[in-house]
Structure 1
């Protein structure tokens, strides 16, 4: 069994003034497995102003502890449909940056319903996984993620 290793995971989304903050936080919770201890999930909500003066909250969740990151990765892979895995694999080169971070965006509305659906639209939850690979090069990360998802 190929296990992907990661340094940390970050989950980010925006809460528009018209959205219910509790519902958006519930959507994010779809990606966090129940077995992760609450103290291993760092939540930060900050407020900013949008282009037209509207209030926007930025939600950042970070998971750093290795046990929690492993639990997250297992849960993350289980959430992905075969179709979404295929999509990620087809676009893997553009989903991994030079620092070895895998970026996957999910539909925020579907996440609120407890479903993970990859989405490239504007209203998304972004999951960033800082992958461990040796040597730490984009090609090594792409290979590691490919092997993990194809399994």
Structure 2
């Protein structure tokens, strides 16, 4: 894993601290206390003129990016992981994996895939040897097998 980016929107009706908690819950425990190190924020105006904060968390240190991505994959429920694998062709492009994690579920401590809009978007930039979907599938399966042996 070369890098990992998590991004989400904080709408005017949402509590920013709760959204930060949701993102924090997606990451390994040792990284949760230092979210600000990875954070950039930008405020934009929505269609109706409402303020929307765009939060991006960029992890460009390979070891930390790998650890965070492994954590996400290992904590997925089996049904979500199987859906992830089944839809990999749609989620993998130009050496990147795209995933959407349900923001409300993340706040509760769960990692669930969502196709909706109220999500934490995860973009993983893979190493060059992981550029074909078959190799990526094997890689993801190897991460899950580590889960059962830990």
Deviations 1:22-78 (A, max 9, x none): 000100001211233838941011100001111100000011112211211221122
Alignment of 1:2-151 (within 5 A): 6-36=1-31, 38=34, 41-97=37-93, 99-134=94-129, 137=131, 140=132, 142-151=133-142
Give the paired residue count: 141
C-alpha root-mean-square deviation of aligned residues, in Å? 1.8
Contact in 1 for aligned 2:10/2:55 (Cα 8 Å): yes
The structure carrying a bigger helix percent of its residues is 2
TM-score, normalization by structure 2: 0.86
TM-score, normalization by structure 1: 0.86
**Which segments of 5 or more consecutive residues in structure 2 lack a partner in the other structure?**
143-150
